[in-house]
């Protein structure tokens, strides 16, 4: 039996919800769709959307800092579990020019792997994001 699987969203916990909403809006063109509080998991949740893709940003009532190794896309894969989010970009060089002009930190790149050019950048919380183009 075959099933069609379609990505729904990617969820991350952040240190400052309003700052993260602003970062994803300004840097990657997401728009805030909804912001509300959820009892379990004791978090304020912001839902952002760009095209058909959504992100959920969580700010837990008792938020804890992200472990330092999560910030390094070369070291983080040693830890089992989720690694990073990646986006295809139609004009990677143009986007990277805009992002670096706005002070976005480039963690890795440019790197070419099998015909795919990629960069890793850090969001405002230091979370690695992969940007790719063919």
Indicate whether 33 and 87 sit together in one domain.
no
Indicate whether 38 and 87 sit together in one domain.
no
Q: Which among 15, 44, 63 is the end of a domain?
A: 63
* Total domain count, the chain: 2
Q: Which among 63, 89, 109 is the end of a domain?
A: 63
Hey, is 35 helix, strand or coil?
strand
Indicate whether 9 and 45 sit together in one domain.
yes
CA distance 66 to 32: 23
The pLDDT score that the predictor gives to residue 1 is 81
Q: Which among 41, 63, 85 is the end of a domain?
A: 63
Indicate whether 75 and 57 sit together in one domain.
no
Indicate whether 89 and 111 sit together in one domain.
yes
Domain of residue 33, residue span: 1-63
Indicate whether 10 and 57 sit together in one domain.
yes
pLDDT band at 3 (very low <50, low <70, confident <90, very high): confident
The pLDDT score that the predictor gives to residue 10 is 93
CA distance 53 to 57: 13
CA distance 72 to 21: 22
Indicate whether 59 and 113 sit together in one domain.
no
pLDDT band at 75 (very low <50, low <70, confident <90, very high): confident
- CATH number of the domain bearing residue 93: 3.10.180.10
pTM of the model: 0.90
Q: Is the pLDDT of residue 55 over 90?
A: yes
Residue-averaged pLDDT of the chain: 93
CA distance 117 to 134: 6
Indicate whether 51 and 14 sit together in one domain.
yes
């Amino acid at each position: 039996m075959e099933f069609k699987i379609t990505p729904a969203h990617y969820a991350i916990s952040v240190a400052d919800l309003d700052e993260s909403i602003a970062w994803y809006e300004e840097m990657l063109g997401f728009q805030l769709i909804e912001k509300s509080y959820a009892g379990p998991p004791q978090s304020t949740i912001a839902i952002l959307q760009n095209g058909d893709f959504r992100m959920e940003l969580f700010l837990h009532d008792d938020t804890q800092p992200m472990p330092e190794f999560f910030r390094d896309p070369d070291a983080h894969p040693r830890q089992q579990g989720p690694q990073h989010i990646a986006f295809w970009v139609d004009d990677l060089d143009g986007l990277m020019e805009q992002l670096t002009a706005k002070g976005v930190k480039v963690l890795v790149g440019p790197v070419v792997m099998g015909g795919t050019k990629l960069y890793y950048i850090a969001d405002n919380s230091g979370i690695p994001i992969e940007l790719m183009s063919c």
